[in-house]
Amino acid sequence: MKTPTVVHLPSLVPSSCLVFALTCIAFAHQAPHKFLQCVQSHNSESTSQVIYSKNNSSYLSNLLFSIQNIRFVSPSMPKPAFIVIPFTESQIQAAVLCSKASGLQVRIRCGGHDYEGLSYSSHVPFVIIDLRNLRSIRIDAQKRAAWVEGGVLLGNLSYQIAKSSGNLAYPNGLCPTVGVGGHFSGGGYGTLLRKYGLAADNVLDARIISANGEILDRKSMGEDLFWAIRGGGAASFGVVTAWKIRLIQVPDIVTVFTVNRTLEQNATDLVHRWQYVADKFDRDLFVRILVTRVNSSDHKGKTTVQAAFNSVFLGKIDRLLPLMQESFPELGLVKEDCMEKRWIEAVLYFSDLPDGSTLDDLTNRNPNPRLIIRQNQILSRSPSPNMAWKGCGNSLMKMKQLMLS
């Protein structure tokens, strides 16, 4: 009988690791050089003001520029081989094609608000394409439409629409420093969603650069891809350089209110009741709830849980009050709780900017201190029992910083 060959696997491990390590080192040296050569061959324009390598003095400041969640600002955070900050579609085409040819993954960044840092970090060698220089907004008020480039932020979009017409708006979200790219391609919740749907529902067309470097519009990309980039995350399919959006009409005057109720003021029962009536409100009415821990006004030195019923109504106070009395009388809304504003002023009201902020502050890229943020979202198909909300209140009392919305 032939004696079988015995292979001692442990003896192979060191040599295998050495080969892998040498391969990684070789790749680390070759990929950046290959990428730069490739970009220069694809694009005759100067790359000195567009591409930043780790050796560039502006590399770190450009990396940190749009990172809104400082949970990912640490020395151990994986850093890109290059940061590309293009001005033109041709520069994006070159970056996409050369990343592909060099074996570098592409991360696309607009506002930098994604909760898991996906637009500026990766566990494999990568390149960031930062769209912040693509910020043109072309509004056609007569046709109620606009072309918005991929680097525009929501606050500036709302500001420019209102500047064009006080009766036009777009159903986008609340935070002014969120970029349109992630917002539109992720769906886009906002205060107008009950009447006009999500931001993505009001996208009419788009320009996207595919992995093959092609520039496609709605017609050439096809309806399947156009459907996918409006909710499925456009970065999975390419780089959207511009969006065509439908503008909607808003009245001259809208009404906003915030009614705060603590546990001692029956907040738990009100939140529980809200679940059963919120979907039956008039379509002109949007009411959300923010639940936080606050200092108790009744017991000095102690804390309690507060539910803030935060709302905008597309109409005046005299029409709102009867609707609230009919649909949600338990809240006890009165005229003194309400304020009438222009639409753009309501946008500022919901923006979470500091007290005293002006409309011009909506265009500021970095108005607030950056925070450490982690968010989980739960979709419930049925109302949660009162006991569950009481449990949430108890949990909030034990945590330092937590908000439910």
Same domain, residue pair 291 and 226: no
Identify whether residues 274 and 143 lie together within a single domain. Answer: no
Q: What is the CATH number of the domain that holds 64?
A: 3.30.43.10
229 with 324, same domain: the answer is no
The candidate with the shortest Cα–Cα distance to 234, out of 171, 178, 150, is 150
Q: Residue 68 pLDDT > 70, yes or no?
A: yes
Residues 379 and 304 in one domain: yes
Q: DSSP class of residue 63? A: H
Q: Does residue 390 fall inside a structural domain?
A: yes
How far is CA 234 from its chain centroid? Answer: 13
Q: Check whether residue 208 and residue 110 sit in a common domain.
A: no
Structural domain tally of the chain?
Answer: 3
> Does residue 85 sit in the same domain as residue 186?
no
pLDDT confidence bin for 298, thresholds 50/70/90: confident
My answer on whether 156 and 120 are in the same domain is no
Tell me the CA distances in angstroms from 59 to 49, 77, 195, 374, one per residue in order: 11, 14, 44, 26
Same domain? For 214 and 329 the reply is no
Same domain? 297 vs 197: no
Contacts of 203 (CB under 8 A, 6+ apart): 184, 230, 243, 244, 245, 246
Q: Is 257 left (phi over 0), alpha (psi -120 to 50) or beta?
A: beta
pLDDT of residue 140 exceeding 50: yes
Verify that 60 and 93 share a domain, yes or no. Answer: yes
Q: What is the pLDDT of residue 48?
A: 65
pLDDT at 390 over 80: no
- Please report whether residue 6 resides in a domain: no
pLDDT of residue 373: 66
365 in a domain, yes or no? no
Does residue 353 lie in a domain region? no
Give the residue from 130, 146, 181 where a domain finishes: 130
Same domain, 59 and 112: yes
The predicted structure's pLDDT at residue 326: 97
Domain limits for position 190: 137-249
What is the arithmetic mean of pLDDT over 325-339? Answer: 98
Residue 123 in any domain: the answer is yes
